[in-house]
Amino acid sequence: MFKIFVDLFLMVIIQVAITPFIRRLAFVLGAVDNPNARRVNKKPMPTIGGLGIFVTFNIGCFILLREQFPTHELFSVFLASSVIVLTGMIDDILELKPWQKMAGIFVAALVIYYLAQIRMTELNIPLTNQVINLPWYLSLPITIFWILALTNAVNLIDGLDGLASGVSCISLLTMGIVGYYFLRNQGLYVPIACFMLAACLMGFLPYNFNPAKIFLGDTGALYLGFMISVLALKGLKNVTFISLVVPIVILGVPISDTIYAIIRRKLNNKPISQADKHHLHHQLMRLGLTQRQTVLVIYALSLIYSFVSMLFLLSPVWAMAMLLIGLLIAVELFVESIGLLGKKYKPLTKLIGHLVLHTATSKEPHVEVWHQGQAKPKEWQERSKGGHKPEAKADQSKNKK
């Protein structure tokens, strides 16, 4: 274990040393991100920062910690991730169309399914002991969708200095802790790989945090999303309800931002693939937060998701259900408060306000007040006709005295 810690520290040092060379290479290749309407950066920035992470991670896999990984899976994942990095580099230099990037991710996902044989094969139905064996025509699309969805989710949040790299680092550390302490059935090399990739990001963040000297680029964002999806999938080979929910919650920030982006574009009758400037980080900055403050707030959100994911593993089913419901309500209220789907979209806030108002008014005593000169209430008139005025009892008590 001590050797593993030493090697992880060496990977941080290697990443710190290699990033300046990747930065120079980006200028040579023309992998530069120029400012535009969607970008926050005010000057041209070198991209392909993810290339350095790819190189450092594979130095760790093939040299420093080679004995930790099965040969077949190691080479298959390396091949698939090379396809992802190549796709990202071409996009950073030439700007691919969305379908072309999706094609690259799709090819890499097929390599993972057929060569690495990392796939979803079984599904455990919650609250029962029933296990469903997934045939290939279900296993294949579910696996491909998982990889495509998580890869693009991480790519979508890469909009501020240090955002995608920091959130990915938090997610990977959480996945490593969860894998080491709770899900060791697939061996220790999955959590070790999570810690290795997190170590690479720790070495990269000093160059990527605001003010950034280099961006991840699609090279890095796609690579991180892809590797996170594959590492999570490896831990989900035999899928139970808990092990399915945990990585989704861990990656709650990019996944929820992606889901709300799709909903927002559908509500505005825009193509799902059309980029906009209304993501989570954009909305927080509209509230007056600086880049650093926005990134730190999203880091905090990611830590909350990570903490909840670990509570899932320690909770009985009923408590897990309550946690999930509470988390969904909290996310929706937060989304409505920052206007992620628009300023007028506040259904849950309005519903809660209506219920609170209704509860408050129903508890207030009903008091009727009659002012002189106004018509008497009907019941007072009826009592007056019967000789029972409200003042009658008081007059009678005075006469007796």
As a whole number of angstroms, the distance between CA 346 and CA 14 comes to 48
**DSSP letter (8 states) at residue 289:** -
Kindly write down the DSSP assignment for every residue of 222-280, as one continuous string.
HHHHHHHHHHHHHHTSEE-HHHHHHHHHHTHHHHHHHHHHHHHHHHTT--TT---S-SH
Cβ contact 222:84 at 8 Å = yes
Cβ contact 130:173 at 8 Å = no
Query: Could you tell me which of 164, 150, 144, 273 has the C-alpha nearest to residue 218?
Result: 164
Give the mean pLDDT of 139-157: 92
As a whole number of angstroms, the distance between CA 164 and CA 184 comes to 27
Which residues in 269-329 belong to E strands, given as ranges? none
- 185 in a labelled binding site: no
Cβ contact 242:311 at 8 Å = no
Cβ contact 311:188 at 8 Å = no
For residue 392, the cross-strand partners are: none
With cut-offs at 50, 70 and 90, classify the pLDDT of residue 223: very high
Give the mean pLDDT of 98-104: 93
Question: How confident is the model at residue 237, as a pLDDT?
Answer: 56
Q: What DSSP element (H or E) covers 9?
A: helix 2-29
Chain-centroid distance of CA 2 in Å reads: 32
Does residue 23 carry a pLDDT above 80? yes
Give the mean pLDDT of 40-66: 87
Question: How confident is the model at residue 370, as a pLDDT?
Answer: 54
Condensed to tens digits (0 to 9), the pLDDT of residues 159-182 reads 889 999 999 999 999 999 988 887
As a whole number of angstroms, the distance between CA 26 and CA 51 comes to 10
Residue 310 lies in a domain: no
Give the mean pLDDT of 115-126: 81
* Residue 18 structural domain: 2-250
Q: Which residue has the tokens 């999806």?
A: 229
Residue 378 lies in a domain: no
Residue 376 lies in a domain: no
Residue 175 lies in a domain: yes
Query: Could you tell me which of 124, 33, 113 has the C-alpha nearest to residue 79?
Result: 113
Residue 242 lies in a domain: yes
With cut-offs at 50, 70 and 90, classify the pLDDT of residue 401: very low
Residue 346 lies in a domain: no
With cut-offs at 50, 70 and 90, classify the pLDDT of residue 369: low
Question: How confident is the model at residue 392, as a pLDDT?
Answer: 47
Question: How confident is the model at residue 203, as a pLDDT?
Answer: 96
pTM for the whole structure:
0.84
Cβ contact 146:237 at 8 Å = no
Cα angle value 157/163/165 (rounded, 5°): 100
- 152 in a labelled binding site: no
Longest dimension (CA), the chain: 110
HSE, CB side, 13 Å, CA atoms: give it for residue 40: 24
Number of domains in the chain: 1
Q: Which residue has the tokens 């969805």?
A: 149
Between 266 and 327, residue with greater pLDDT? 327
Residue 25 lies in a domain: yes
Least confident range of 91-100, 119-128, 191-200, 211-220 = 119-128
Does residue 83 carry a pLDDT above 90? yes
Residue 61 lies in a domain: yes
**DSSP letter (8 states) at residue 124:** E
Question: How confident is the model at residue 39, as a pLDDT?
Answer: 59
